[in-house]
Amino acid sequence: MSTSDTRLHWGRSTVETACPLDCADSCSLAVSVEEGRIVKIDASSHNPVTGGFICGKVREFARRVYSEERVKYPMVRTGARGSGAYKRVSWDEALRQVAAKIAEARAQFGGESILPLYYGGSNGLVTHGTADFELFRGIGASRLARTVCAAATGAAHAALYGKMGGVAYDDYVHASLIVLWGVNPSVTSTHLVPFIREARKRGARLVVIDPRRTPLARQADLHLAVRPGADIAVALAVHRHLFEAGHADTAFLAEHATGTDRLRERASAWPFDRASTVAGVPQDDLERFAALYAEASPAVIRCGWGLERNRNGGSAVMAVLALPAVAGKFGVRGGGFTMSNSAAWGISNAAWLETPEPQTRIVNMNHVGRALTELDAPPVKVLFVYNANPLATLPDQNRVLRGLMRDDLFTIVFEQLITDTARYADVVLPATTFLETYDIARGYGAYSLQLVKPVIDVVGEARPNVEVFGELGRRLGVEAAARYELEAEALMKVAGALPADAGEALLREEMAQPPGGRTPVQFVGVFPATPDRKVQLWPEALGHDAPAGLYGWQPDPGTDEYPLALVSPASEKSISSTLSELRVRPASLYMHADDAQARGIGEGDTVRVFNELGEVRCPVVVGDAITPGTVSLPKGLWRRHTFSETTANALVPDTLTDIGGGACFNDARVDVARIVGAALGSQPVQIWVGETKGAVS
Ligand SMILES: Nc1nc2c(c(=O)[nH]1)N[C@H]1C(S)=C(S)[C@@H](COP(=O)(O)OP(=O)(O)OC[C@H]3O[C@@H](n4cnc5c(=O)[nH]c(N)nc54)[C@H](O)[C@@H]3O)O[C@H]1N2
Ligand SMILES: Nc1nc2c(c(=O)[nH]1)N[C@H]1C(S)=C(S)[C@@H](COP(=O)(O)OP(=O)(O)OC[C@H]3O[C@@H](n4cnc5c(=O)[nH]c(N)nc54)[C@H](O)[C@@H]3O)O[C@H]1N2
Ligand SMILES: [Mo]
């Protein structure tokens, strides 16, 4: 089978596939195609969790597929970096240049002078961790610590439970208490919402812990509007209450957990009054939450990713995930926790990769700005970006930009669109979207594994990742990479290496369910995958890196200069920076009325949000749906969405989380000032709207 033999669907037909984008829900899709073009993207009933609806973003995905900004051909840069001036070349010419640059850098500076930079992309099992890994391993490139997301939650979850599968969305209807902790399902996993609604109808209580009044926080019985980064205080105060008021499940802990005493000791330092001061929530509310949680069964905690993204993030997530063990919430349907379910399959790319991982240096992707500007012996000479838009999504944007501006750096960007990052590439290679290629989607919320298949012919000369890395493997003499050069063979190779008969089910039914089933009950159908099968409440090894030790607290060093905390949560308009290109209006800062008033700022004003790393100029929206002292800018913006052509990441320090080396997106400190007319200068404010530059006031 070649990559483009079965893709044309003449007349009108509807093709079933799945959405592999970086979202927990992994929906099944029905895509209508007419004369070879996508005319409609809707839900299919194949995946029960999809429940007959999909998000507004993916409905619009055809606009990305056929966008004017789509990279249709390989291109080489002809103008200054950032100018976006490129000329079309053939694939042969583009890959000849790329292979030559890689070979040259390797010969002169060693393999470590080549840095692959990737993250989610289309997030499937075939488009990442296959030919690409074989290639970069084969040439001995620097290794990337893939830490921009879920590094702290992943480390905490792995240490405590060996990433045990969580409570399935469907089972939320059985809960009598639902706690949404640093998660915003109305935006980031909309398919959980109907189950929460149904549980509420049946009488379940809802608690939301979030600095913002999210849509579900509005409906909650209790909303703890914590200061960003203070979740550890809240969680340990609840632990203390459980232990001291006799609510700890000592029988469960004796049989299924280790390290209980050490955790208890840590928690003893957090009486309600201290936690209340640190977290900025009323002590009564904290006590009410602790009492509700102690009493309710089944009680489920949906732990999200908002809380991990700060210096105390790893410890906070550990303390949250430890709650159901201490309170004895497992063993019943609808009780326990949900974190990521991606490990439920026990899938590891070690099952199909041939080349052993070389012991080359590791670059933490949250430090890419530093790596590009500071690393020596050897410096990074070739940067290969794929499945990511680092200029938009990584911390310390201005430093990343300085790195991309380096004259002696050769940058390859393998992309669907001319993204902010692609504008700085020396060579741009056109990538397929998930509607033009095969992949295997693995949701990290919904459990199903699903087949993703091409529903249209490729746009322009776009090629799937495996083919391109496969061909580069052939050109550079890395045979293990070249074995993926045919897309269908790559799919079969991965499917064939899946555990049990998942691969067969996937190819036959286009869907497979994990070994523990689609709706496991924790401590009945699934157990910790830790070495002793117990919950490790004190995972010693994890504490070695944590500056304040396990369950430690690093207080805010505090600056008078930058008194506001900035968070940058997910937006319903995009999935990270993917689909943000469709956003036509400038993005706004959200600010509490008290903070605005103190600075003489009113709704609709243009403001500067600034700190020592940079500034963002944008309009402001004033309201009361955020805790005072905290401001918010959307995640995933492109540079054209603000007047300063910078986004929240220009203000995000590249500090790492206490555990896991993760990003601290929600741990930026800023101040905000109104821009009076003159401060804008004589230039009218410009933003890019689609392909045309338009003025906005
Ligand atoms: N529409 C949409 N869906 C997405 C994404 C997207 O960009 N857009 N991204 C996908 C990806 S990559 C991921 S990882 C997931 C993320 O899914 P979520 O974790 O739900 O996403 P976030 O919006 O980052 O964070 C959730 C909430 O945490 C709050 N928060 C911020 N700081 C703190 C804190 O210190 N403590 C607490 N308790 N709360 C805090 C924010 O106000 C926000 O409401 O969503 C996925 N789904
Ligand atoms: N300020 C702030 N920044 C954040 C966050 C935050 O909360 N606040 N959240 C972070 C999180 S949770 C995440 S997961 C990261 C995500 O960061 P990124 O991984 O950079 O995510 P995207 O912005 O979606 O960029 C993915 C790119 O891959 C491309 N792509 C998709 N499929 C393919 C493919 O098959 N082949 C190739 N070659 N390319 C493909 C898409 O066109 C897209 O441009 O962002 C992080 N950035
Ligand atoms: Mo993420």
Query: Which residues, including other chains, have CB under 8 Å from residue 263's CB and lie 6 or more apart?
Result: 239, 322, 326, 537, 538, 551
Q: Which of 63, 15, 24 is nearest to 451 (CA)?
A: 15
Q: What are phi and psi of 265, to 5 degrees?
A: -65, -45
Give 10's pLDDT tier (boundaries 50, 70, 90). low
* 606 in any annotated domain: yes
CATH number at residue 100: 3.40.50.740
Give 123's pLDDT tier (boundaries 50, 70, 90). confident
586 plus 690 within the same structural domain: yes
Whether the pLDDT of residue 3 is over 60: the answer is: no
Nearest protein Cα to ligand 1, atom 3: 188
Domain span at residue 37 reads 12-65
CB within 6 Å of ligand 1 — which residues?
22-23, 149, 181-184, 187-188, 209-212, 214, 226, 228-229, 231, 304-307, 310, 567, 569-572, 574-576, 635-636, 666
What mean pLDDT, rounded, does the chain reach?
Answer: 94
359 plus 433 within the same structural domain: yes
- Of the three residues 338, 357, 382, the one that is the final residue of a domain is 338
195 plus 331 within the same structural domain: yes
* 578 in any annotated domain: yes
89 plus 136 within the same structural domain: yes
* 7 in any annotated domain: no
* 539 in any annotated domain: no
283 plus 362 within the same structural domain: no
CATH number at residue 31: 2.20.25.90
Cα–Cα dist 601/603, whole Å: 7
Count of domains forming the chain? 4
* 547 in any annotated domain: no
Q: What's the token pair of residue 285?
A: 């509310």
CATH number at residue 613: 2.40.40.20
Whether the pLDDT of residue 691 is over 50: the answer is: no
CATH number at residue 313: 3.40.228.10
Ligand nearest to the CA of 444: 1
Whether the pLDDT of residue 689 is over 80: the answer is: no
200 plus 312 within the same structural domain: yes
Please give the distance, rounded to the nearest whole angstrom, from the Cα atom of residue 665 to the centre of ligand 2.
14
Q: Which of 591, 549, 487, 605 is nearest to 263 (CA)?
A: 549
CA atoms within 13 A on the CB side of 241: 23
* 94 in any annotated domain: yes
Please give the distance, rounded to the nearest whole angstrom, from the Cα atom of residue 147 to the centre of ligand 3.
10
Neighbours of ion ligand 3 (CB under 5 A): 149
pLDDT in tens, 543-569: 888 999 999 999 998 889 999 999 999
CB within 6 Å of ligand 2 — which residues?
22, 119-122, 127, 148-149, 305, 386-390, 392-393, 414-417, 419, 431, 465, 568, 575-578, 635, 648-649, 652, 665
The residue whose CB lies within 8 Å of the most ligand 1 atoms, and thus the one to mutate among 184, 573, 580, is 184
Q: Which atom of ligand 2 is nearest to the CA of 390?
A: 20
Please give the distance, rounded to the nearest whole angstrom, from the Cα atom of residue 183 to the centre of ligand 3.
12
pLDDT of 388 reads 98
367 plus 493 within the same structural domain: yes
pLDDT of 692 reads 32
Share of the chain above pLDDT 70, in %: 96
Nearest protein Cα to ligand 2, atom 2: 635
Ligand nearest to the CA of 187: 1
Ligand nearest to the CA of 120: 2
Please check whether residue 310 is in contact with residue 275, taking contact to mean a CB–CB distance below 8 angstroms: no
* 448 in any annotated domain: no
668 plus 623 within the same structural domain: yes
- Of the three residues 288, 305, 338, the one that is the final residue of a domain is 338
250 plus 183 within the same structural domain: yes
* 207 in any annotated domain: yes
